[in-house]
Structure formats: C-alpha cells, structure tokens
Amino acid sequence: MTDSEEVTGHQESFVRLPDELTLENSSPKMTPELLQQEIEKYKELCLAKAERDKLLQEKQKLEKELEERRVAWEEQAKAPPCLPDREMLFKGHVTEAEDVNALVVAPRIQRALPGGSALLTFEEPEVAQRILEIKQHEVKLDESAGCEGRVRVQAEPMELLLPSALEIELKLSDRCILLSSLPCLDLSEEQLLDKLELFFSKKKNGGGEVEQRELLSDSGHVVLTFVQDGVAEQLMKKGRIQVPIGKQTYELKVTPYMSGQITDLQVRPSVCAKTVLLSGIPDILEEEAMRDALEIHFQKPSRGGGEVDALGYVPVGGQALAVFEEDTD
C-alpha cells in the first residue's frame, strides 16, 4: 500500500475544521460596543416591565375601590323591606282631584275627599276620640248667614292604607352619572343643562358625547347619559369635579345613577288618631260660612270638641284630594 492509498483510506475518519476566515464571517466578535448595546436593551425591557406591572397594580386597586363604592351605594340606596309605623294626620292641604284612586308612596298620602264632607284635625287625639264616640252631631247654623236651624252630620274615623313593606329593584346604569351640589344660579333649566353638557362632552375634561340630560325637579340634581361606555366610570372615579359655570367655578359631586322600580308593596290599614271625617253635610250655606259653622261647633268643649288644628271642607257636587302628612309632634 502506498502512502497515497493510506491517506485516501483514512480520509473519512477526519473532520475538517473551518478556517479562520470562515469563523469570522459566520459569528462576529462581541465587541465592548455591542455588549453595551445589549445591556441597554435589557435595561429598557426591565424598566418597561416594571412600569407595566405598576400600572396593572394601580388599575386593580382602582377597580377594587370602585367596586367597594358601588356596593356601598347600593346598600345605602336599598329600601328596607319593612317600614316603620307612622302616625298620619290632615293638616288642611287640599288639592284638585285628578285621580281619586291614586296612592302616593311617600311621606304624603293623598285620599279622595268627596263632596258634602269635611276633615277635622284636633290638637289632641282624645278630642277626636270623643267626637267619634258621639257619632251623630247637630251643628247650629249661623243666623247671620241667612239660614237658621241645625244640620246633622256623621263623624267617622279616617282610615288610610299605609305601606308596611316595600321592596325596590335597583339598577346601576353604566353610562349615566348623577351630578349634585349644584349651585343656585339665575339660569333657566335649558341654560344650565347646556353648560353642563358642553363641559362634560369634552374629552379633556374626562367626558364624552352626551346622549341625554335631565334635571330631576324633586332634588335639583342632573343626570347625564353618555354615548360611549367607560366615560361615566372614569368620571365617577374622580368623585368631585371643578366645573366653570358663568364667571365662577363650582365643585360638583359625581356619583352613580340608580334607577329603580317597586317589585313588592304591602299595605296595612291605619286610623288617624287626631283626624275625623264628617259626612252628610248638606249644601245649604256658602262654603266659607259652612267652614266657620263647623269649626265653631267642634271647638266647643260642651259639644265634646276642642282646639281645631286644620279643617278641610268640600261642598256637595265637588271633589278634592286631601293630603295627609306624618305627625312629627
């Protein structure tokens, strides 16, 4: 075997290493400059991750606080299922009869008062009880009114239906806010709503396009409804917002807006302790003269009466709503 054959026979047993030039081309050397660039990139990634984690923590904290506030607001707004007993009485307020079957669930109860009847409220409940025990009363008419004699009227207890249990289903709107702490300004309703819509429709103020606005006449608060989701939530997180109206700036309170409907209402009969219903009053005197005759008669202790706090009278052929309020005395 020659030398050349020996080399040929063993050439498959060797691995050829790349020469120096090939190594340099395939893997560039890590210079100090390249190493510094890699370090800076790593630092930037670490800072971005830390900032992202911080923002996520703040978001979770704000969401938790908002949820806690929602729960607290819902608990505060939830009406108790059982309502406390209240003593009601007539204080002389009579309105036009529009719906005689209407029952207003509020501290004020409306009750139909038909023609030929009257309501008397006495200072002391003992007086009302004496009047009810007598039942039939003969009221002397004033001779100066041009009508002599007496009229007989019937005394009856005044019974009302009062709410004893009330359940309300509340719904929290995701796109509505309630604005309160509004100042008393010399502006019309439209002017005030225009200024509020203008402010809260601007993104720089944290708002968005307003879909609907409403002034609640019973409370003086304003409800704003936004087109997009999320706008109301961001405003509620602030809680209070400085709003320029005219030449001054006012701090308005921003809270969620809840709408509700009565899902269950239970009522119980209740007799007014100080108020008596008189019926069967004939139409023989002018309204003012009959009022005076009734009040004079039922104020006399000799007739079982006493001091009259309020009197409401409806002549025959008329009809009205008597308003009953809670007795706070």
CA distance 296 to 141: 10
CA distance 82 to 164: 6
3-class state of residue 216 by DSSP = coil
Query: Which tokens is 20 given?
Result: 């120096």
User: 285 and 147 in contact (C-beta within 8 Å)?
Assistant: yes
Chain centroid, CA 320 distance in Å: 30
Beta-strand ranges (E) seen in 78-125 are 88-96, 108-114, 117-122
**Residues in a beta bridge with 237:** none
CA distance 64 to 55: 14
Q: What is the pLDDT along the chain (329 residues), one digit of tens a residue?
A: 445 444 444 444 444 444 444 444 445 566 877 777 777 887 787 887 888 888 788 778 877 777 776 666 655 555 455 555 556 656 666 665 444 333 444 456 888 889 999 999 999 999 999 999 999 999 887 655 555 678 899 999 998 888 777 777 777 888 999 999 888 888 899 999 999 999 999 999 999 999 999 998 877 899 999 999 999 999 999 999 999 988 899 999 999 988 777 777 788 888 899 999 999 999 888 899 899 999 999 999 998 999 999 999 999 998 888 888 888 77
CA distance 66 to 232: 12
Q: Residue 254's CB: how many other CB atoms inside 10 A?
A: 23
**Residues in a beta bridge with 266:** 165
Query: Which tokens is 235 given?
Result: 């405003």
Burial zone of 238 (CB within 10 Å; 0-12 exposed, 13-18 middle, 19+ buried): exposed
Residue 286 has phi, psi (to 5 degrees) of -65, 155
Name which of 267, 270, 266, 268 is nearest 158 in CA terms: 270
Burial zone of 74 (CB within 10 Å; 0-12 exposed, 13-18 middle, 19+ buried): middle
Tally the C-alpha atoms within 13 A of residue 84's C-alpha that lie toward its C-beta: 4
DSSP for 236-253 reads HHH-EEEEEETTEEEEEE
User: 128 and 122 in contact (C-beta within 8 Å)?
Assistant: yes
User: 255 and 216 in contact (C-beta within 8 Å)?
Assistant: no
pLDDT at residue number 117: 94
116 contacts: CB under 8 Å, gap ≥ 6? 279, 280, 281, 282, 283, 314, 315, 316
pLDDT at residue number 227: 94
CA distance 173 to 314: 46
Sheet strands side by side (includes 108-114): 88-96, 319-326, 108-114
| 308-314/117-122 β-pairing | antiparallel
CA distance 201 to 208: 4
pLDDT at residue number 94: 62
Say what the pTM is: 0.48
Name which of 305, 291, 282 is nearest 123 in CA terms: 305
